[in-house]
Structure 1
Amino acid sequence: MTLKELESISNQFCNLDKLVAFKPLASGHINDTFLIETQKKLFFVLQRINHGVFKDVPNLIKNKVLVSKHLKEKLSHLSQAELKRRVLSFVETINGENYYVDSYGNYWNMMEYINDSITYQTVKSKEIAFEGGKLIGNFLNLTSDFNASKLVEVIPNFHDMSFRFSQFEASLKNASKERLDKANNYIDIVWELKEEMHILQHLKETGKIKVRVTHNDTKISNVLFDKNKKGLCVIDTDTVMPGIVHYDFGDAIRTICNTANEDEKDLNKVSFNLEYYKAYVKGFLEELNSALTPLEIKYLPLGAKTMIFIMALRFLTDYLNNDTYYKTSYPEHNLDRSKNQFKLIESLNEQFNEMEILNNISVK
């Protein structure tokens, strides 16, 4: 994108100032995001939503705006300056809309930039794990009274275990003998875990666990920190939609507690960091404990295991499908990713009793 092109788009929003500079922001793998600077030294985040991935962009943006408005109402005791640092603020177009569609059919939205904020790509201390848990817990607590049925499911079946298993079974029928042979041990593990991995879905479907507003992409890089390493704001709310708390908890734990990158081939480097888990749970439940039922708290450790399994299953399925979904750098990249996640489950299992004891203490 050129400055002139972005200026033309920026002019469609009510920032009332001339764009003078921009730089890309590495905020994800799906959308194109730019930090723009205006003549008056005001900063905004201008984002092009990938309508190839997200099929209903207007409702995606509506979801984000609705949740931000709710959060601002719950935090209305804060000053306007502090509120804008704690909650995403969306800028309307000159036509009063929350997004602009350019001549190529691309959808754009604009947010006010949160100055003096920091993001972390990985967790290197218990302090960051604790603060990350505290902020995600706070986000879920503040939205616990929001009617989740008002939100559109922007990615249908995103964490639906039955759907993921149906994709897996289809891949088994179409996979080459070579790939089936290489994945054979992990295919066996999938079947061994099938019943346990459906527990949370069954609890959700029978109404024993509440469907609520969930973020659905709770990696640590989607949390802003201030200069003192304190949690500031939850960002990247494109996937906010109805779900259960265990998905958000589990996805955060999956990314925070792996001692290696998710495509690390040396499985001796892959283990589950229990100390980071304890720190995250402490922060998470400090904010959210009163909004959860004892049953929800009981199954948080299983939420972590389930979300790791879902990613292991998705990587394995894509490998069997000849790598049609995830970008790969070499032929067995997805298989290595899957092996990595299964090793993480193995390490988690060795510490699962301690995780459950921690949660039982929290219930009491």
Structure 2
Amino acid sequence: MNFDALIRELAPQVLAILVRRYGQFDACEDAVQEALLAAAVQWPADGMPDNPRAWLVTVAARRLTDQFRSEHARRRREESAATMAPADELVAPGADDDRDPDRDDTLTLLFLCCHPALTGPSQVALTLRAVGGLSTAEIARAFLVPEATMAQRVSRAKQRIKAAGSGFQMPPPGEREERLRVVLHVLYLIFNEGYTATSGASLHRVELSSEAIRLARAVHRLLPEDGEVAGLLALMLLTDARRPARTGPSGELIPLEEQDRGRWTAEFIKEGVALVTRTLARSPLGPYQLQAAIAAVHDEAPSTEATDWPQILALYDLLERVAANPVVTLNKAVAVAMVHGPRAGLDALAVLDADDRMAEHHRLDAVRAHLLELAGARVQARAAYELAARRTTSLPEQRYLESRATRLN
């Protein structure tokens, strides 16, 4: 395992140990980040320690106790003395600091990072930093914002958790189901931003989609019987399988119907299909499972022409009943067009014109342009492609939409 992968695996484990022992999530998270920086400097020069996790726990705990002993942190240390472990309990590097070596607190940590007191962007940022092990600079680069802006976002998130008085524990049983849905939604947002970046010169931000898949695997490992957890992981794998064929040599967008399916990642498709097949057979239907089932139909088809569009439309009908939203309606319209013709698809889109969440979104214009083109309305299609190109902030999408409009001149 390379250094970055090891750090991202160990970061949440180390943070969980410290928060469980000392409380004070914000201080522990800062101490873990300092330990990760120390590892980045020392391990390449001195070699990997025998027990990397214990090394990180020890270094982070020492930084933490130094902070507690400082004049600035004296009052906070005294207030939390009852919950702090004595400094002499710290173990030496190489020893196993965790008293329960089989305990995995990743899910508890995810629940804490997705606390309802936080905004959606703050939940995403804190999850990537605390659970994903990404630095503030890495997160800022991924979302194309200044590092100082992202640092403030992470800092505010930690302060809100502190103000909420949230301890390091699982939510009460009555809240767990809803909090898990928030966790899954945050991972879904991270994956989507990585798979189709909302702005910038690149279509993909692989570090985000890969991190979302890694974290989804971790949650699935902890909750193997949860159908929606399995469904989300399957959806990510089946979607990410197409990434190698989704861009051309210059980074240009290649739509699904034009992709070389031989370049799709076969092992992701096999794993994703197995996951969704298993969960659909034994779990109540949920939106992630249904989206994964739709992705599986696409991925298993040898070509666009051979795609089972009636099955996809039936799945969208189910999805609309389970979790209706404008994106589902938008995607369903394409399936309607493929089954009943482009004019029927355009009729299905009409309802979105009055939906404030989608009325001025470039994807609505792009889908309308595509269906108008299929219907032979070239002038209207060109105008819709041009409007979609003006509204998107993604350069690859903009160039693709402009090229479609040019072809219709």
TM surpasses 0.5: no
Q: Which has the higher strand share?
A: 1
Report which of the two has the higher share of helix: 2
- Greater Rg by CA: 2
